[in-house]
Every structure is written in C-alpha cells, then in structure tokens.
Structure 1
Amino acid sequence: MNMRELLLKALELDEINLAIVNEIKGNPSKITFYSNKGDVLLVLLISISMDNNEKLNIAPSQLKIVSSFDKLNVLSDIFDMELVDRAEDNFIIISQHENLIAKINFVNKFGEKLNFQINVKKILEAPHD
C-alpha cells in the first residue's frame, strides 16, 4: 500500500494515527507516527531487544502509559492512551537510559515486565510546545 492508501485505511478503521516501522536487514530501525491527515507527529530511530519465545499477554484496549521521560509523553496522545503516574498491569513504561535517549518496556496483564524493549536511539522529529 502507498501512504494515501494507508491513511484511508486508518480512517476507515476509525484510527486516529498511524505508525510506520522501517527496517534495515529485517530489524526495526525507525518508527514514524502520522496523524490520519498525513502530518508527521513523531519520528524515532530505534532498535529492538526481545525474547522470541515470550508470549505478550497484553490487552491493548486496557494499556496505559507510565513515563519518566517528558519528551515522549506525546505517545499518550498519539496512541490515545491514558498517561498515569503508576499502574499495576497492562502498561507501557517509558524511561531514560544512560546509553540511549530512552527505552520503552511493556508490562503484561499479570504485572510481569516483558523482555520486549524498544530502544530509542534518537528523536528526529517531535511536536513543538
């Protein structure tokens, strides 16, 4: 699909935003978030750490975001998820990390932190306040 077709599909599915994941040699390398009008909302250079055998057990409709990294709090608007100070299950943790800009981890419905992690290497484009 081209970008226009993707945006039309997002509108058809009542999605407010769209994420495009680019890869290099089969590995995720960049995520670009778009509004359903095609405006770029956020661009992240990333890498992924994960255990291929792990089951996610995540309920997407119940996900919340817990963040200690203000520059990525915009993800709560992009994903249309509640930004909270703390949660016990089904949440995304966004935190600063010494060797990265930030890391994004997931906690499943059993309160277990998953081995799936998005490593944010650089923020290329972000909303301006």
Structure 2
Amino acid sequence: MAGISLSKARVMIRKALEKGREAGMKPLSAVVLDAGGHVIAFERSDGAAPGRFAIAQGKAYGCVMLGMAGKAQMARAEAQAYFMAAVNGVYGGQVVPVPGGVLVRDKKGAILGAVGVTGDTSDNDAIAALAGIEAAGLVGEA
C-alpha cells in the first residue's frame, strides 16, 4: 500500500469517534495525516471545542516528522526537554508531544502517516486512535 486513502482515513476517524462515544469519553476530534504530514481528513464530534484541530494535528504531525509515536515523544520531552523545544522550533511550534498521536503503519511496518485524537485524557485519545486504525486494517503505534 502506497499510502492512506480518503476512504481509509474516514474509517479511522469514524471508528475513533465511535470508540470515544462507546467508552463515555468527552467529545473527540480526530485528524489523519499522510506520510508527508498533510491532512487527509478531519472531524470534530458535536460538543468538541473548535480549537481541537490544532491539537490533533500537532499530535499526528510530531509522529510523522519524527517517526515516533506520541508516548515516545512525551518520554523524550521528559528526558530531554531541550531536544523537543528545538524540534518544535524547527517545525514552527506544530509538534504536540503527548499520547493521542499514533503512527499508522502497513503490515510490513512502513509508516503511512499518523492519526491525532484529542478531547479526553491523552491515554484515552490514543485508545480511540488505535481503534480507528485497527478498523481500517492497518497497524497503529501509540
């Protein structure tokens, strides 16, 4: 597979938002980025704050640009705050290094893009993102 189709991106978003509703999470917002960091699709649940796009995009963008899942980025930020500050400088402040940013891989391990989910706790955001990725038949790395 060369990338994430719009159809698969829509499945990921629909299932991530569904997972959030089923689990009683706060209203979620979800974005899917391609391997170059470009938006394929975005949706915001009813009741989600309008500013959530930038957070979801930042979570996913960091994954793609660094090739690291959100949890790994957070660990790096905690261990080497200066590194993540420099990275954010390089990328114009667009990286949000916390869980909820999930790498999307094909079955062979190649990075196809990332999903960013926001609205609940970062760990719950990651759970919702993984549910969406799995529903699309791809592999998530949180």
Per the normalisation by structure 2, the TM-score is 0.30
Say which structure, 1 or 2, has more relative contact order (CA 8 Å, 6+ apart): 2
Give 1 or 2: higher strand fraction: 1
Per the normalisation by structure 1, the TM-score is 0.32
